[in-house]
A and B are shown apart, each in its own frame.
Chain A
Amino acid sequence: MSTKSRREFLKLAGLAGASLVAAPAVALAGHPAAASNDEELGMLYDATKCVGCKACMSACKRVNGDYGALSYEQAKFDPDKLWDAPKDLSGSTRTLIKLVKESPKEWSYVKYSCMHCQKPSCVSVCPVAAMTKDKQTGIVDYNKNTCIGCRYCQVACAFNIPKFQWEKAIPQIVKCDLCKNTNLKQKGISACAEVCPTGAIMFGKRKELLAEAKKRLSDQPKRYINHIYGEHELGGTNHLYLAGMQFKKLGLPELKSEAPAEFSEKIQHTIYKGFIAPVALYSTLCFIAVRNMKKSSGQDHDHTDHDGGKQ
């Protein structure tokens, strides 16, 4: 009986294991790059045109009503929080201009904000669908009224964009939403792109942005690194970059063209396809357990009798 039950157990373990073993193979087997949707809205940031005036940053805060700088960022002469100098994106800063200086001759500004991925990891991992991607505009938006604050989006984002309000008792995630409910709604353009005095931030549909970026690259090849950052990175992003300095130095990591969410979702979907595997596992286990119980209850009587005599 023991060997038989062991054999059955192994069979079952094999069954359960099979889907877990097969999943990675399926996920790696082939990943045809999903066609990107170039009708979505986005921005093209041209680092070579940026003068670092930070008008975009202050417009972003003004329009989106983010509260002022954190205390450690405040100047002593500024009790009214008028002077804002954040060091990084944070729970109060959705966009940021930084100066990257390698040498007196080699330097560049860079703007950070949400990349609005074509296949966003944060949307894929959010357990309660607080992160969503608009089907039409492609805007990756956040809803604090459903968010549970688990910060899985922060773990998932390869660009470290979603920020959490660590200093607050009632915190939320903060990230760029292309002024979806503010400037975009009222004026049809994001606040940062609207106020940029040098045209370093271009707002529009992804296809227009790509065409413009390609044009600039071919018109002035010496001015730029010959690469549109975001065209293919992680399956493509709607926020695109042109720069005259290596993107890696600007804090934009070198990334593969496959979206991480494609990989993880394939594995998760293979295991849980139609919920068949868990149901099959449960019913098989029930069958074995009930049969075992019936068998042993027959023996149990002898056993207790025997024991009873002894006690």
Chain B
Amino acid sequence: MSHDDYQIHRAKIMTPAFWVLLVLTVIGFSLIAVRFIWGIGAVSNLSDGYPWGIWITYDVATGTAIACGGYAVAILVYIRNKMHYHPLIRSAVLTSLFGYGLAGFSVMVDVGRPWNAYNFFVPSQWQANSAMFEVALCVMAYTTVLFIEFLPAVLTRLQQTNWSRARVFLDKYHGKFGLDTPVILEKLEKLRLLAIKIQPKLDKVLIFIIVLGITLPTMHQSSLGSLLLIASTKLHPLWHTGFLPLLFLINCMFIGYSIAILESIISSYGFRRPFETEQLSGLASITPYLTAIWLCVVIGDLIWRGQIGNALKLDFYSGFFLLEFCLVASGSLLLFSKKRRQSPRWLFITAALIVLGGALYRFNVYLIGFNPGQGWRYFPSLAEVMITVGIVSFEILGYQVLVKLFPVLPRLHGHEVSAKV
């Protein structure tokens, strides 16, 4: 449980990647401004037949699954008691925080009357029949929980700081803009002392927050599946089943473990750190079991509802179904070999296959398998895509900057540095 498992990644913040991501972010957020001034119709191809497009399908339904790394790793560490995975958790929590926070932000871009969102907190307006109500409350609560889970990193940093960057800044601008160096430094010092005071208290209750952070995704990830239960006349029978909640829950777990692997490998590569192969192969040994259960439920359900014929028809819908199925299945089959689980390259390939397959499943349920009737077409507009790209860029940008400011990445020990890259 110690906070010493992590370290700040000491590197330049303003890298070329930083600028590219910043440009994409600015484009995305400018288009969001357009949306708020001229309406949703001005930037998107959404219609009364396809009221939910790529913002809900990718940013919310798929984005939160991809943000389930924190959830999946937390189950492993705190419930299954595998403490040696603890070093992975902070970066997983940070990506989850970004994923969920920005999913919530996308929802605010997507909904037409966001100023009425306070009704979620008005008990007389509560609507327990609605899966959306459940999802909304849980996602808000979980984002708060993730923020608290990430607080130790911020508090640790605050305690150790000597405010060197702030000092440089203040020295430069002393006297200008009404800045008074001693007063500000005094206030900053108070903040530091406060952090020292809060940290032990937070540590005591943190476990209950962490467990809440395991309960909430279990609830709302299954409810994300429940959302489409109502669309019995619009969602293709290959995907419309009473097992949607169960399938979405298992789906987010295997996406969660796989994305934790991907993130770790990508950041090791990007930040030129050694790969955490040992831990990752451990994670990779879990996913095939989850995907096996998921694939069994999918097939069993299709047989039960007599839809196997539809699945093998090789038409548009069956094609996407088979693609989703094969991506998940091939990724999992490859992982049953222990040798492949030891290789960063194979870990990366299999995790990518499983994430792609799992994400395609969510696209199939929310968009591709959704047919509101004759005459309706949907394909996202460029502006719509750029808004999503902007939000995702902001997410990666934030992650890159924060790991260089706060102790997030696993601490490198002497013997690990020599690991093969």
- Indicate if B132 sits at the interface (CB-CB under 8 A): yes
> Which B-chain residue is minimally distant from A290 (CB atoms)?
B207
- Indicate if B234 sits at the interface (CB-CB under 8 A): yes
- Indicate if B36 sits at the interface (CB-CB under 8 A): yes
CA distance A152 to B113 in the complex (A): 13
- Indicate if A158 sits at the interface (CB-CB under 8 A): yes
- Indicate if B183 sits at the interface (CB-CB under 8 A): no
- Indicate if A83 sits at the interface (CB-CB under 8 A): no
> Are A125 and B130 in touch, CB under 8 angstroms?
yes
CA distance A82 to B2 in the complex (A): 73
> Are A149 and B226 in touch, CB under 8 angstroms?
no
Question: Which of these, A23, A158, A162, contacts B233 with CB under 8 Å?
Answer: A158
> Are A272 and B113 in touch, CB under 8 angstroms?
no
- Indicate if A64 sits at the interface (CB-CB under 8 A): no
A interface: dominant SS? helix
- Indicate if A246 sits at the interface (CB-CB under 8 A): no
> Are A268 and B116 in touch, CB under 8 angstroms?
no
> Which A-chain residue is minimally distant from B297 (CB atoms)?
A21
Question: Which of these, B117, B208, B230, contacts A148 with CB under 8 Å?
Answer: B117
Q: From residue A144, how far is it (CB to closest CB) to chain B in Å? A: 7
Question: Which of these, A172, A260, A299, A307, contacts B113 with CB under 8 Å?
Answer: A172
Query: In the complex, which residues 289-311 of chain A have their Cβ closer than 8 Å to any Cβ of chain B?
Result: 289-290, 292-293, 295-297, 299-300, 304, 307, 310-311
> Are B51 and A128 in touch, CB under 8 angstroms?
no
Interface size class, chain A: 35 or more
Number of A-B contacts (CB under 8 A): 220
Interface stretch (choices A41-49, A107-115, A197-205, A280-288): A280-288
B218 proximity list for chain A (CB < 8 A): 16, 281
Q: From residue B289, how far is it (CB to closest CB) to chain A in Å? A: 10
Interface stretch (choices B41-49, B95-103, B326-334, B384-392): B41-49
> Which A-chain residue is minimally distant from B136 (CB atoms)?
A127
> Are A285 and B211 in touch, CB under 8 angstroms?
yes
- Indicate if B343 sits at the interface (CB-CB under 8 A): no
> Are B113 and A148 in touch, CB under 8 angstroms?
yes
> Are B229 and A263 in touch, CB under 8 angstroms?
yes
A253 proximity list for chain B (CB < 8 A): 233, 373
Question: Which of these, B37, B42, B114, B226, contacts A264 with CB under 8 Å?
Answer: B226
- Indicate if A39 sits at the interface (CB-CB under 8 A): no
> Are B246 and A148 in touch, CB under 8 angstroms?
no
B309 proximity list for chain A (CB < 8 A): none
Question: Which of these, A6, A16, A264, contacts B230 with CB under 8 Å?
Answer: A264
CA distance A275 to B223 in the complex (A): 14
CA distance A215 to B372 in the complex (A): 34
Query: In the complex, which residues 39-98 of chain B have their Cβ closer than 8 Å to any Cβ of chain A?
Result: 39-42, 46-49, 51-52, 78-81, 83
CA distance A272 to B120 in the complex (A): 18
- Indicate if B111 sits at the interface (CB-CB under 8 A): yes
> Are B1 and A297 in touch, CB under 8 angstroms?
yes
Question: Which of these, B38, B81, B119, B414, contacts A310 with CB under 8 Å?
Answer: B414
How many B residues touch A, CB cutoff 8 Å? Answer: 74
Interface stretch (choices B151-159, B237-245, B270-278, B352-360): B237-245
Query: In the complex, which residues 362-376 of chain B have their Cβ closer than 8 Å to any Cβ of chain A?
Result: 372-373
- Indicate if B380 sits at the interface (CB-CB under 8 A): no
A125-B131, A146-B119 are known contacts. Are A156 and B125 too (CB-CB below 8 A)? no
B117 proximity list for chain A (CB < 8 A): 148
> Are B242 and A289 in touch, CB under 8 angstroms?
no
- Indicate if B298 sits at the interface (CB-CB under 8 A): no
B38 proximity list for chain A (CB < 8 A): 169
Query: In the complex, which residues 206-233 of chain A have their Cβ closer than 8 Å to any Cβ of chain B?
Result: none
Question: Which of these, A146, A170, A171, A272, contacts B134 with CB under 8 Å?
Answer: A272
> Are B230 and A155 in touch, CB under 8 angstroms?
yes
B52 proximity list for chain A (CB < 8 A): 151, 155
> Are B37 and A169 in touch, CB under 8 angstroms?
yes
A127-B136, A271-B222 are known contacts. Are A149 and B111 too (CB-CB below 8 A)? yes
B128 proximity list for chain A (CB < 8 A): 268, 272
> Are A155 and B125 in touch, CB under 8 angstroms?
no
- Most A C-beta atoms less than 10 A away, residue of B47, B113, B114, B128: B113
CA distance A198 to B62 in the complex (A): 52
> Are A166 and B111 in touch, CB under 8 angstroms?
no
Q: From residue A186, how far is it (CB to closest CB) to chain B in Å? A: 29
CA distance A154 to B112 in the complex (A): 13
A260-B231, A304-B2 are known contacts. Are A160 and B112 too (CB-CB below 8 A)? no
Q: From residue A42, how far is it (CB to closest CB) to chain B in Å? A: 21
> Are A268 and B41 in touch, CB under 8 angstroms?
no
- Indicate if A68 sits at the interface (CB-CB under 8 A): no
Query: In the complex, which residues 114-154 of chain A have their Cβ closer than 8 Å to any Cβ of chain B?
Result: 121, 124-130, 144-152, 154
Q: From residue B240, how far is it (CB to closest CB) to chain A in Å? A: 10
Query: In the complex, which residues 394-421 of chain B have their Cβ closer than 8 Å to any Cβ of chain A?
Result: 413-414
> Are B48 and A90 in touch, CB under 8 angstroms?
yes
A268-B226, A271-B222 are known contacts. Are A6 and B80 too (CB-CB below 8 A)? yes
- Most B C-beta atoms less than 10 A away, residue of A148, A253, A272: A148
- Indicate if A163 sits at the interface (CB-CB under 8 A): yes
> Which A-chain residue is minimally distant from B83 (CB atoms)?
A296
- Indicate if B381 sits at the interface (CB-CB under 8 A): no
B124 proximity list for chain A (CB < 8 A): 129
Contact with A along B21-43 (1 / 0, CB 8 A): 00000000000000011111110
The 8 closest A-B pairs by CB, nearest first: A24-B242, A149-B112, A166-B41, A151-B51, A264-B229, A149-B113, A127-B133, A154-B51
Residues of B participating in the A interface, judged by any CB pair closer than 8 Å: 1-2, 4, 36-42, 46-49, 51-52, 78-81, 83, 107, 110-114, 116-117, 119-120, 122, 124-134, 136, 207-208, 210-212, 214-215, 218-219, 222-223, 226-234, 241-243, 245-246, 249, 372-373, 413-414
18 more A-B residue pairs beyond the given contacts A27-B242, A124-B130, with a C-beta to C-beta distance below 8 A? A9-B80, A20-B249, A23-B245, A125-B230, A129-B126, A148-B117, A148-B120, A150-B107, A154-B48, A158-B234, A160-B49, A166-B39, A171-B113, A263-B232, A265-B129, A268-B129, A282-B215, A295-B81
- A to B CB contacts below 8 Å, 7 in the list: A5-B81, A125-B130, A148-B116, A149-B112, A167-B42, A253-B233, A268-B134
